Structure 1
Amino acid sequence: MLTNYLKIAWRTLRKQQGFTIINIFGLAVGLACCMLIMLYVLDELSFDRYNAKADRIYRVQSDIKFGGNDMHFAAAPDPLGPTLKKDYPQVEQFVRLHQRGTWLVKRAGETTNLREANITFADSTLFDVFTLPFVSGDPKRALAEPNSVVISESAAKRHFGNQNPIGQPMVFENTKIFKVSGVMRDMPQNSHFHSDFFLSMRNDDYPWGQWLSINHHTYILLKPGQAGAPTDPAVFAKNFDTILKKYVGPQAMQVLGTSMEQFQKAGNQVKFWLLPLTDIHLHSKQQVELAPNGDIQYVYIFSAVALFILLIACINFMNLATARSANRAKEVGVRKVMGSERQQLIGQFMTESVLTTLLAMILACGMVVLALPSFNTIAGKQMSIVQLVSPYYLPLLIALPIVVGLLAGSYPAFFLSSFQPIKVLKGGTAFRNINRSFKSADLRSGLVVFQFMMSVVLIVGTIIVYRQITYIQTKNVGFKRDQLLTVNGVYSLGKQAETFKQEVMRLPGVVSGSISGFLPTPSNRNDMAFFAEGESSRNKGVNMQTWGVDYDYIKTLAMQLVQGRDFSRAFGADSSGIILNEAAVKVLGFKDPIGKRVWRFDDPQGKTQKTYTIIGIVKNFHFESLRRNIGALSLVLDANSGAASFRLSSTNLPTLMKEVEARWKQLAPDQPFSYQFMDDSFDEMYRAEQRVGTIALTFAALAILIACLGLFGLAAFMAEQRTKEIGVRKVLGASVGSIIGLLSKDFLKLVLISIVIASPIAWYAMGQWLEDFAYKIDIEWWMFLLAGLLAVGIALLTVSFQSVKAALMNPVKSLRSE
C-alpha cells in the first residue's frame, strides 16, 4: 500500500511541475531558516552547560544603592567566597576570578611580547568548580603555589610551539615571572567567560579584606541536598542578611561611621543574591560582566521568527493544495466509485505532503550548508554543520519534515477526501458550486492575511532596529568620537610614554594628544564615594566614576566645559583639583559648584582623606551604553598611561598610521603596536543590536519571499480559473488595465487587512524592545506606512506578473473550447 502511495505521489508531483517547484522551494527556504535559527537558539541555550556540576554552581551578584546611583554588579567583595565556605556547610567550594584585561606576555628569554587578552587571576579551587580538562599538569595543585600559571592549548602553541611548557617560566608585563604549572584544553565557545591564562590568586596585587569593594567575580558550588538535588539557592540566599550584619556592617561603621540600619534608613542598600551559572549568559544584565552576554529576549524573538517563517511556508502548501483541489475533484470521485475509502484517500494525500516535505528538507539541508558560514559571520558564532547530526539536534531534524508534512498536508487531505463522488462526477451546477467555493474560500484568504501580517511585523521591526542603531551611531554623545585614534598599552613604554605622545604630536595631521587609562568606551572602571566638605552624614555621599587624566584630555576628546576651566599647567594646585560632570553636580546638590570642595577616603580602612577643589563642570557625556542613564563622573589629574588618544585631521590615514607605528617602534621595538579608532570602539558596544538588525532584515526578506511564492502560485491558479471570464471581458471591450485591476484587487485587499492587524502588534513588540534603552527613538507613524507600502508594492509586483500575462492572452484561445 505504501509503495502504491509513493508511486502515485511521485507521478502527481511530476505532472504538476510548476506547482511542485513553488511548493518545494518555498518549504525548503522555510525549513532552512528554521534550521539556522534552531542552531542559533540551541547554541545560546547551551552556554555553560558543559560544566559537569552546572546545576549546582551559582554566581554571587551585588546590588548597591548609594550616592544617587543604583549599581548592579556581577562581582562581590573579595572576602565573601572564603567566608561562605567557612561559615556555611551547604557550600562545597568557591572560586574567585579577578580579570586584569590585556597584558604583554612572552616566554622567559624572548625579547618580543605578544598582547594577550583576558588575563585572569583565579583561586586554586577553579578546577574543582568548573569543568576545564587538563592536557598536562595536575589540576589539584596547578594554582596552589604562588607564581604559577595555567595556560590553554592555544596559548601553549603560540608561545612554545611543540615544546612541553610545563615548568617553563613566562614573563607578564615585562616584570612578573610565572611558571607554567598546567595546560588545559581551550575553553568552549559556549562559556560566559574565556581566558587563556589563569594566574595564581596569591599573586594578585590587591588590598584584601575589603567588604565595601566589589571587584571579584565569585562563584559557589552548593552541596547536593536530599535525593541528590542541589541545595535550594533561594533558601540559602537568606544567609546574606547575616553576612551583611556580621561582616559588612562593622566595616561600614569603621569607614563610614554609621551602622547598617542608619545606612539603610538614609535610602541606601546593599544586597547579595545568587544567579544560576546556566542563566548568566541570557539573563544577567549586571555591570562588570567578564564578557558581553546574550539576551533571552532575542532567543524568544528568533524562536518566534522561526515558527512564523515555518508557518508561512506551511500556509503556502495548504493554500496551493486547496486552490488546486478543483482539478483533482474528479480524481477523488473516480477513486471513491472504484472503492477507495476515505482513510485511504487521506493516506494518499498525506503521503504526497510528506514526500514533498522530505524533498524540501533535502534541499533545505543543502541551503543550510551553503548559508552557515555567512550566518556565523552575521551572528558572531562558530556553529558547525556537525551540530545538525548531534544527539540533541538529530531527533529534531528527523521529526521536522514529518511534522511539517503532516501539518501542511492535513487540511488538504481531509478537505479533498470529503468530496461526494456523485456531485463531482455528474458535473453541471453541482460541480460548478464546488469549483466556485474553491475560488472564494475564506480559509485561503485568512491564511494570506496571516502570511503578510507576519511579514509586515518583521518589516516594521527591521526598520525600528535600524533606526535605533542609526540614532545611536549619530547621537551627540558629548565628545567627538570620529578622527580619534587610540594607541593601546602605552604603559609598556614606561617613562617614555610622554616622549611617544610628543613625537606623535609633531606629525602633520595630529591636532592634540592625551594619555589616560580611562576612555568613554567599554573598559575597567574606578568607582569612588565622594562627600561634600562639611557634610555631617557619610550616608549622603556620591558614588561616582573617578578617572585619572592628563592636562590635554578634555581638549583631545573635544568635551565641552559648561562652567569653570580645564586643568592647566599654569596652576600648580590643580593636582588637588577636580572636574565634575553635570550629573555629579546634580546629585551633590551644588547650585554654584566652582570653588566648592569634596573629599574621599584615601585608604581602604577609611583612616585618611583626600580633598579636592571643584575647578570645572564638563557637560554630560556618555561613557557607558545608551541603555543606561548618564551617571556621576569626576576627572582628576593622575599619571595613568593605559592608552594614548590623538585627535587627527589628516585625510591620508594609512600614511599617518605608518608614521605613528614608526615612532612606536623607535621607542619600543619589542612591544606590539595596537590601535583602534574611537568610533569603532563605540560601535562595538552595540554589535549585538547590529547583528539582530542584520538577522532580522535577512529573515524578513526570506519571509516575504516565501509569502510571495505562495501569492504567485495563488495568482496563477486564480488567473487560470478565470481564463474564460477574462476572454469574455476582452471581447466586450475591457482594457488590459481593468483586467489587471480585477485580478489584483482581491489580493491587495487581503494585504491591506494584514497591515491593519500587524501595525498594533509591531508597535507593542518593538516598544518592549526599546525599553532596554535609556536613550531611544520614538516609534512614528511613517514607519508603519513605509512597511505597508513595501508589502503592498511587493504583493502587487507578485500578482501583476500573472495578471498581465492573463490580460494579454488572446481571447480566441480562451473561448475556443466553449
Structure 2
Amino acid sequence: MWRNYLTVAVNALAKNRAYSIINLLGLAIGMAACLLILVFIRYETSYDRWLPRGEDTYQFQTWMPNPRDGAPYMLQMSSYITAERLKKDFPQVEAVSYVLGGTPSILRQGQVSTAEDYLTADNDFLAVVDLPILRGSKNALNAPDTAVLTRSEAIRQFGTDDVVGRTLSLIQKGKTYDYRVNAVLQDLPKNSHLRINAVVRRDFGSYFTQEPEFLTCWQCQSGWVYARLKPGTDAAALNAQLPAWEKRNIPDENLAGTRYNAGDDTDWALVPVADVHLGVAQAGSMAPGNDHRSIVTFAIIAVLILLMAVVNFTNLATARAGQRAREVALRKVLGATRRQLIVQFVGESLLIAAIAVAIALALGELLVRPFAAFLGADLRFSYFGADGMLWPALALMLIVGVAGGLYPAFFLSRFQPASVLKANKSSTETPGTGMLRNMLVVAQFAISIGLIICTAIVYGQTVYARSVDPGYQRDHLLQVGNMSRYQLIGRGEQIAERMKRVPGVVAVGRTDIGVATQNTNTTGVLVPGNPQPVALGRYRVDHDFRDAMGLQLVAGRWFDPARPMDDQTLSFPEDPAEVRALVARGANVVVNEYAARKLGAADPAAALGKTFRMALGEQYGDVPITVVGVVRDSRFRSVREPLEPIVFIGSREGPSTMVIRYDGDPAAVRAAVEREWRAAASDVPFEGKFSEAIIEDLYDAEEKRAQIFAGFAVLAVVIACLGLFGLAAFTAERRTKEIGIRKVLGARTIDIVRLLVWQFSRPVLIANLIAWPVAWWAMRDWLNGFDTRMALTPVPFFLAGGVALGIAVVTIAGHAFKVARANPIRALRYE
C-alpha cells in the first residue's frame, strides 16, 4: 500500500511539472528564510551562555527609569563604590570585580599605538568572570602589575602566543606602566557582550590618587561591576533588598542648601551576564547590544514568510485537487476508505515538504556565510548538537507537510464517486473552495504589502536620520580624540594653535561633546523658584568651538576669552584656592534652547541673565551661574536618543575632543593634521575621523535593518507571485472552454486579459485594506522609539500597494495574454 502511495505521489509530481516546481520553490524559499532567521535568533539568544558558571555571574547595572527630571537612562556601568559596598554588605556575593574601560597607549620600541579593548581591573576579575585560559592560570592577576592577553592580541604585539613572562608597556594617565604577562586567553567568541583584547591589573586606590573623589562618588559611572554569587543564591531576592541597601549607603548631598540624594533617582540591579546583550540597559556597553523587540520582529517575519509558503501550497493543492476527481472516485469505487485517501494525500504533501526541506537546507548552507558577514555575526549552519538544524528542519517538514496538506486531503476525500462518474467529469470544483483561495491570496499579499511598507518606512527613517538638520554644520568636519590624555594636560591650547596653521583648516575648537561621542555628563542644578533639581548636560568648550562646529547663536553672545567670568579653567589637580575664587566670582555660561526652556525661559532672549546654582561638591559649595548666550538646539547623538539640554562651560584646558573645520581635499587635510599632531604629541596616538564616517557608523545598524526588511519583503513578494502565477495557470486551464466561447462570441484578446487580470487583482486591492492599518500601527510604534522622526505620510502605503498590484498584474498578464491569444477551435474541438 505504501509503495502504491509513493508511486502515485511521484507520478502526480512528474505529471504536473509546473505545479511541482512552483510548490517546491515557494516552500524551499520560505523554509530557507525561516531556517536562516532561526540561526540568527539562536545566535542572539546565545550570548555569554558559554561562560563557565555563567548562571552565577552578574553585571551590576545602574538604572534611572523614572528620574524627577530628564529622560530615562539605563546604564550597564556602575560606580566604583558600588562594588566595594556590594561585597561588604551581602554575604551571598562570592566575589566582586570592578573593571575600567579605556584606550591606553602601547609603548613598543619607542613607538606608541592605541590599545583597543584593554580593560583595567582589580585582582578578582578572573575569579568572577571565568574566561577561557590558553596559557597560564586563573591566578594570573593576583600579583600587582600583571596582565593577560588574548591569543590574537599576543600575536599582534609579540608575533607569538607564547608570551607568558614577557613585558607589556602601557601609558596610562600620563605614566608608563610595565606589566608582566601571566596568561593568554582564548579569543572570545563574537556572541559575548565582553570586548577584551587584554586585562591589566591595577590597585585603584593608588591609581586614582589625584582624583580621590572617584572612589567615593555614587554618580560616577565610568566602569563595569561584575559579581559572582554563591551557588543557589536567589538573585531576584537580592535585587529586592537593593532599595534598602541604597538608603543605608548613599549619603545626602547639599545642593545650594537643598538636600539631594543620588539614590532618589537611581536604582541598581544585578543582571545575569546571559541577559546583558538583550537587556534593557544598552548605554555604556562594551559592545553594541540588541533588544528583544528586534528578535521578536525577526521571528514574526520568519513565521509570516513560512505561512505564505504554506498558503501557496494549500492554494495550489485545492486548485489542482479538482483535476483528480475521477482518480478519487475510482479509488472509492474500488474500496478505498476516506481515511486511506486522507493518508495518501497528506503523504504526498509530506513528500513535497521533504524535498523542499532538502532544497532549503542546501540554500541555507550557501547563504549563511554572506548572511553572517552582512550582520557581522558568527553564524554557523550545523546539523547536530544543541544548535543543530536537523531537528528544526524535520519539525518544519512535518508542520508544513501536515498544515499544507490537511485541508486538500479532506477536500479531495469527500468527492462523491456517483456524481463524478455519472457526469463523466475529469475535474470538479467544490463550492466554497474558490472563496477560500481568494482569502488565502488576500492574506499572502497583505503580508507582502505590510513588509514593503515597513521596508519603505525603515529606509525612509534611516535617510531622514542621516539628512535631518542637526543644528550645526555637519560636513567638512574632522574630529580628533585623545585630547584628554594626561600627557596633554596644559597643552591643549598649544596643539589647537598648531592645527590652525595647517593649510585648509578654517577653525579649530575643543569640546567634551563632539559628533556622537560616548561621554555623558549630566548634573542637577537649582533654579530659583523650583525646589526640584533640573537635570542639564554640562560640557566644557573653548571659545573657538562655536565657529568650528558651526553653532547658531540665537540670543546673547558666545564666550569671550577677555572676560574672566567666561573662563572656568581649573588646574589639575585642582587648587582649593583657585576653586574658592571661582565660587566667589561665579561663572558665565551659554545654553541651548532646550536648556533655556528647562530653566523657565519663555524664549531664548528671556533666558539671558537668568541665574542658577551648580554644585562643585560638598567641599567647595555651589557656583553661581549666569546665562549670557543661547545657541540653537544641536543633536550631537543619534536621533534615537532624546535631545539633551546643554550648558556649555568655557574652558581653555580639559576638553577631550578637538573639532577641525576645513576646506579642500579631506585626505590632504587629515594627513597634514596628523603630521602636526605627531610633531606636537608624539607620545599620544592620533585618532582622527571625519564626521561623515562617524554618522555612517552611528546609523549602520538602522541601515542594515532596512536592508534586511527589504530582503525579506522581496522574498515575500516572490513567494506570493509564485502562488499567484500557479493559480492563474490553473484557473486559465479550467476556464479554457469559457474563454473559447467568449472569443467565438466576439471577445477581444484585451477583454480576456482584462477579465483574468481583474479576477486576481481584486484580492490584492483587498489586501491593501488589511495591510495598511496593521502596518501603520506597527510603524507608528517603531517610529516612536526615535526622538526625531519622519512624518508618517500616506506615500509609503500607496507606494507599497501600487508595487504589489503592479507585480501581481505583470505576473498574471503574461500568462493571461498567452491563453487569450490561443485558437478557440482547440478549446472547443472535443465538443
TM over 0.5: yes
Match of residue 449, structure 2, among 446, 449, 456: 456
Does residue 571 in structure 1 map to residue 563 in structure 2? yes
Deviates more, 1:715-724 or 1:199-208: 199-208
Mapped to 2, the partners of 1:295 and 1:784 lie a distance apart of: 27
Match of residue 81, structure 2, among 75, 79, 82: 79
Structure 1 unmatched ranges of 5 or more:
none
How many residue pairs match? The answer is 795
Name the aligned partner's letter for residue 786 of structure 1.
Answer: L
Name the aligned partner's letter for residue 25 of structure 1.
Answer: L
Q: Does the 8 Å CA contact 1:516/1:639 hold for their aligned counterparts?
A: no
Mapped to 1, the partners of 2:313 and 2:71 lie a distance apart of: 56
Aligned to 2:336: 340
Q: 1:285 to 1:776 in 2, by over 3 A?
A: farther
Q: Does the 8 Å CA contact 1:345/1:413 hold for their aligned counterparts?
A: yes
Does residue 127 in structure 1 map to residue 126 in structure 2? yes
Aligned to 1:154: 152
Match of residue 318, structure 2, among 310, 314, 322: 322
Aligned residue for 1:97, secondary structure, equals strand
Does residue 145 in structure 1 map to residue 138 in structure 2? no
Q: 1:581 to 1:336 in 2, by over 3 A?
A: same
Cα RMSD after superposing both structures: 2.8
Name the aligned partner's letter for residue 508 of structure 2.
Answer: G
Name the aligned partner's letter for residue 477 of structure 2.
Answer: L
Aligned to 1:444: 437
Aligned to 2:223: 216
Once the two structures are TM-superposed, the CA of residue 307 in structure 1 deviates from its matched residue by 0.4
Mapped to 2, the partners of 1:550 and 1:28 lie a distance apart of: 61
Does residue 580 in structure 1 map to residue 591 in structure 2? yes
Q: 1:384 to 1:701 in 2, by over 3 A?
A: same
Match of residue 781, structure 1, among 791, 794, 810: 794
Name the aligned partner's letter for residue 808 of structure 2.
Answer: A
Q: What is the TM-score when the length of structure 1 is the normalising length?
A: 0.90
Once the two structures are TM-superposed, the CA of residue 638 in structure 1 deviates from its matched residue by 4.2
Q: Does the 8 Å CA contact 1:727/1:814 hold for their aligned counterparts?
A: yes
Mapped to 1, the partners of 2:748 and 2:432 lie a distance apart of: 23
Mapped to 1, the partners of 2:29 and 2:730 lie a distance apart of: 22
Mapped to 1, the partners of 2:460 and 2:529 lie a distance apart of: 48
Q: Does the 8 Å CA contact 1:439/1:718 hold for their aligned counterparts?
A: no
Aligned to 2:554: 562
Does residue 628 in structure 1 map to residue 641 in structure 2? yes
Aligned to 1:57: 57
Aligned to 1:528: 523
Deviates more, 1:752-761 or 1:213-222: 213-222
Once the two structures are TM-superposed, the CA of residue 87 in structure 1 deviates from its matched residue by 1.8
Once the two structures are TM-superposed, the CA of residue 45 in structure 1 deviates from its matched residue by 1.2
Q: Does the 8 Å CA contact 1:544/1:634 hold for their aligned counterparts?
A: yes
Once the two structures are TM-superposed, the CA of residue 690 in structure 1 deviates from its matched residue by 1.6
Aligned to 1:518: 513
Aligned to 1:814: 827
Name the aligned partner's letter for residue 92 of structure 1.
Answer: E
Does residue 468 in structure 1 map to residue 461 in structure 2? yes
Mapped to 2, the partners of 1:812 and 1:504 lie a distance apart of: 87
Q: 1:375 to 1:705 in 2, by over 3 A?
A: same
Aligned residue for 1:113, secondary structure, equals strand
Match of residue 416, structure 2, among 404, 420, 423: 420
Q: 1:124 to 1:237 in 2, by over 3 A?
A: same
Once the two structures are TM-superposed, the CA of residue 648 in structure 1 deviates from its matched residue by 2.6
Aligned to 2:185: 184
Q: Summarize the alignment of residues 724-763 of structure 1 with structure 2, pairs less than 5 Å apart.
A: 724-763=737-776
Match of residue 371, structure 1, among 364, 367, 372: 367
Q: Does the 8 Å CA contact 2:540/2:655 hold for their aligned counterparts?
A: no
Q: Does the 8 Å CA contact 2:357/2:393 hold for their aligned counterparts?
A: no
Deviates more, 1:385-394 or 1:327-336: 385-394
Name the aligned partner's letter for residue 182 of structure 2.
Answer: S
Mapped to 2, the partners of 1:641 and 1:776 lie a distance apart of: 31
Mapped to 2, the partners of 1:810 and 1:486 lie a distance apart of: 73
Q: Does the 8 Å CA contact 2:318/2:433 hold for their aligned counterparts?
A: no
Mapped to 2, the partners of 1:294 and 1:279 lie a distance apart of: 11
Q: Does the 8 Å CA contact 1:252/1:258 hold for their aligned counterparts?
A: no
Does residue 685 in structure 1 map to residue 685 in structure 2? no
Name the aligned partner's letter for residue 125 of structure 2.
Answer: L
Name the aligned partner's letter for residue 378 of structure 2.
Answer: Q
Name the aligned partner's letter for residue 122 of structure 1.
Answer: A
Once the two structures are TM-superposed, the CA of residue 609 in structure 1 deviates from its matched residue by 4.7
Aligned to 1:489: 482
* Residues 668-697 of structure 1: per-residue CA shift (max 9 Å, x gap): 678654432213323433322222111111
Q: 1:602 to 1:119 in 2, by over 3 A?
A: farther
Name the aligned partner's letter for residue 753 of structure 2.
Answer: I
Q: Does the 8 Å CA contact 1:378/1:694 hold for their aligned counterparts?
A: no
Deviates more, 1:480-489 or 1:444-453: 480-489
Aligned to 2:804: 791
Does residue 549 in structure 1 map to residue 541 in structure 2? yes
Q: Does the 8 Å CA contact 1:487/1:674 hold for their aligned counterparts?
A: yes
Aligned to 1:96: 98
Q: What is the TM-score when the length of structure 2 is the normalising length?
A: 0.89
Mapped to 2, the partners of 1:666 and 1:549 lie a distance apart of: 24
Identity percentage of aligned residues = 33
* Residues 407-450 of structure 1: per-residue CA shift (max 9 Å, x gap): 2122222222222222222335xx48x72437952221111111
Match of residue 234, structure 2, among 208, 216, 231: 231
Mapped to 2, the partners of 1:122 and 1:332 lie a distance apart of: 76
Once the two structures are TM-superposed, the CA of residue 801 in structure 1 deviates from its matched residue by 1.3
Aligned residue for 2:98, secondary structure, equals strand
Structure 2 unmatched ranges of 5 or more:
569-587
Aligned to 1:240: 242
* Residues 706-756 of structure 1: per-residue CA shift (max 9 Å, x gap): 000000000001111111211111111111111111112121111111111
Mapped to 2, the partners of 1:552 and 1:388 lie a distance apart of: 62
